[in-house]
Structure 1
């Protein structure tokens, strides 16, 4: 019994030492989490009490030790925002997103801050130049955003009266007219924009799309080649050029453009359909079957709705000829 008692006495310190190390480990692992949850609770309470100064102090103290604590950093930004400190709130939200770029709360409050910045700058712009081309452009874009096309056109026209060489506004008017299928008016505005500023993808593509709808394919091809040169990685541009070449009977030239579009956007059903037609017309039946097979696969797998990334601008008009 004496020997057994000695063994118990020897074992006890070992168990005590094990328990001590376990306690230390738990403190090491759970300590930061407890500190973070405690700081989050304190910051939340002071924020909802309207004590924004204390929220800022608590959050900044905590973040010096735990800079990656995104929820507390967002609370800090909200406290800054509540005090009208937009710049500070913006910077804190940017830091939060650097640690968690998909954080919904950070993105939401960043959008609020950005909107407030935008409103303040707009008010400054109106105060400085109430009848300027830029003010009328912004008013036109706002009207267009809510679907008031008549008001939007009126504001864009006022912008052009203030600055007849305003390429951006001429392009916006052209896009609006194209969406209304008023292709001649759209072409006129696009050409005005091209004369007023450097040619860009939107202008070249828009002109190509308008001429395609008008079945004036040589002009369409000319502008769409320029669009592809300006943006070679645009699936829409490549497809529009391939479509115009196909409609013009240039089947061999159309195929590389359609294949390029499909490499950039593999789910573009119109591309496979047109590619299959081109191969079929050239007598390349195996390649035609492969393209149509891919189209069938996409149709079977398709979720209801328009496929992502597709664009119909260059479609909708019948083929001019069915020639090879």
Structure 2
């Protein structure tokens, strides 16, 4: 029996690999769905090749999800947009403070270090940081404090207006992070896979703010430190510019993937209501692997 089980362990991954390599474009969606159906939760997927316009897959792409930290990419875009029109420079500085106002009633609230993935920011309270540094912290280590400082600077309503202009019509950026009063009222930042795909495609094509700004944003996104979803099972030579989002039963990743041969694709993976977040992350990482294998198979 032990030998039989060992044989299965060896054969099954090889069989799965062969199945992935034999997929046609019309099978890709079914392969993705079969991977997600085994996990209890709700999922959305948006996949689009930037080199083959007809090569795309959408699954529940218009469903609304809590944005979690995926909303930090729109905040970065608004920062670069306001820099372009001369409101401030990336080299300008902001005083780091831990006091923000709820959008519900203007009452003050503080960030909780235990809810933030960037604890080092709390050591900088009372110091000055450049806007460029804050953008980097907001994206690469998903600092909630940096996010709120930048939203105070550019205005949440301006972020949402810019998203509307870009074409992300169903995205809602209402507030900063950790505004508990707003959360209790259901006043949350929300996204769809479709809208995030629009944003990331336009960044990849140099069409957000301007080409120079888009390229700088890509470089920041490539420095992302949380790599347990889209990048997890991809080879190291694949470059990924992405932003994740995690809260409670929500796990997201949104990315531009750069293949070694120069081809690119956008991939958005959203989830909510996960009974087992770890299983959800694993399933999404495997979806990323399936799509990568599919893309590589196109060359054969």
* Structure with the larger RCO, 1 or 2 (CA within 8 Å, 6+ apart): 2
**What is the TM-score when the length of structure 1 is the normalising length?**
0.23
Q: Computing the radius of gyration over CA atoms, which structure comes out larger, 1 or 2?
A: 1
Q: Tell me which protein shows more strand as a share of its residues.
A: 2
**What is the TM-score when the length of structure 2 is the normalising length?**
0.24
